[in-house]
Amino acid sequence: MKNTLFFILVLFSTSAFAEPLKLSGTLILSIEKGTIEAELKLSNIPKIKNYYIFINSGLNIEYFRDKDDSFNYAFRKKYNEEYSYESFGYYLPDNSGKEKFLPKSLSFKYTGKFPVISDMDKASQHGDWKGNIAFNGKTLRSDGMQASWYPVLYDIDKDVRFDSVTYDIEVKCTDCKSIYLNGSSPVSGKAGKFISENPVELMLFAGDFEIEKSNGSYFLNTGLSNEQMVDFGNVISSFEKFYQEKLNLPYGDSVVFIHTTPISKNNSWLFVAYPSIVNVGHPEGGLSDLINDEKSNWFKPFIAHELAHYYFGTYRKFNSELGDMLSESFSEYISLKLTKELIGEDVFNNIVDNKLKELINAKLIPISEIKSSSGYGDRNLYFYTYAPTNWIKLEHVIGEENMWRWINKLLTVESEFTDYDFLIKTLGDVLNDRALLEVIESNYFSKITPFDSNH
């Protein structure tokens, strides 16, 4: 794609400092031993007074060192699952010990050893998730932002996480057959030099897997035949085209598809770390088994949701107490719109009917009363069921065209915080009707209205 355009979009989504952060250095892996050794340098660090640097809690710090490699910084760490469940938040105290200090560049060295879980007989029923650094005996899988296998800077006051970085990293792995780092082409072999001038979240996948390519997209460990890759690629292209036309915003680079097995018995899910879409599940045939399923239409809405996360997660990152809900619920809403039009109205109706059943007798709090990122109660119920269903109800009031216009504004209107005021203001700009906005705010944002089957 249009690399320059992508660069601009990512800068917009991360509040656009003059220079994107750059990560450089060496990463040494062992798939058999479950080890990660990192010697990395983070450069172009912006001036932030109140911050954390997230590094996965399973990684043991040897040092934080100055840019001239002449001395080690004293550092402190805190754990707060409100900010990061998987990681410690590190910071450098200033000379007084009361404030935080942050240099323009900072070197890190750390090591970690993680369990290698290849025997499913002894694996837990549940215990794998997106932010896990997972060794399954054949591969290592780690997303970037959540797992923080590399240093992820976080501006506490502005609620901005700088997980997208440019990079120049050498990866070595003596027991690997292939290595992939988000934003670069995968390589066959035990080592590779990975470079990207475009900021990207560093999804890492390494170990024993096959690399295939079709129509500009990579397929890693997917088990797809050439014909299946072409067919699947055509489906993806149609989904991307739908989003582009409805949102009037271009889609990004070609997607990289990855299949891997979980390190638990019953976990199975999809996640996106753009441009990678990762399918985690036990079918031995990988994506091939899912695509060949006679009822494979159940799978396509999940792909549509993950593709939607290009807009809600990469094109724009959302913050504040509503940020995660906006990202997930609008990805789900526009994937439902796609499902209805491209996959089948019967599939759409079935999904919405199931959501409505889940909401019967559910105890929910109105959107306007959410004051913290943990204030939703049941996160999955709120993000993936209640909120997108609420957007469907709202569409019945303001019309489909206005919904798409509102979503475009959510993605493009500049705002330091994507909070409740931002949500209402962008909707008001679309409606241009104060009386109607007040009615909508009262019925769909300030209280929980009953749900019915009219969708």
Closest by CA to 299, choosing from 265, 255, 344, is: 344
- In this structure, the number of other CB atoms found within 10 A of the CB of residue 109 comes to 18
Residue-level pLDDT at 11 = 39
Please state which CATH class domain 323-445 belongs to.
mainly alpha
Peptide bond into 283 cis (omega under 30): no
Alpha-carbon distances, residue 181 vs 21, 140, 167, 192, 443 (angstroms): 17, 12, 10, 10, 46
Q: Give the residue ranges of the chain where pLDDT is below 50.
A: 1-17
H-type alpha helices, 167-312: 226-247, 287-292, 300-308
Alpha-carbon distances, residue 136 vs 61, 128, 177 (angstroms): 24, 11, 15
- Locate CATH 2.60.40 in the chain: 3-208
Q: Is the dihedral of CA 337, 339, 341, 347 positive or negative?
A: negative
- CA contacts within 13 A on the Cβ side of 111: 4
Residue-level pLDDT at 56 = 98
pLDDT tens digit string along 353-404? Answer: 999 999 998 999 999 999 998 889 999 999 999 999 999 999 999 999 999 9
Architecture of domain 3-208: Sandwich (2.60)
Residue 376 amino acid letter: Y
- Locate CATH 1.10.390 in the chain: 323-445
Q: Which two tokens stand for residue 438?
A: 């007040």
Residue 185 amino acid letter: S
Residue-level pLDDT at 103 = 96
SS3 category, 22: strand
Alpha-carbon distances, residue 250 vs 2, 333, 335 (angstroms): 10, 19, 16
Closest by CA to 218, choosing from 289, 144, 278, is: 278
Angstrom distance (rounded) from CA 167 to CA 195: 5
Residue-level pLDDT at 294 = 56
Residue-level pLDDT at 82 = 86
User: Are 251 and 314 spatial neighbours (Cβ–Cβ below 8 Å)?
Assistant: no
β-strand pairing of 134-135 with 139-142: antiparallel
With a CB cutoff of 8 Å and minimum separation 6, the contacts of 299 are 290, 291, 293
- In this structure, the number of other CB atoms found within 10 A of the CB of residue 68 comes to 8
Q: Is the dihedral of CA 198, 335, 278, 125 positive or negative?
A: positive
Packed helices 400-412 and 387-398: angle between N→C axes, nearest 10 degrees:
120
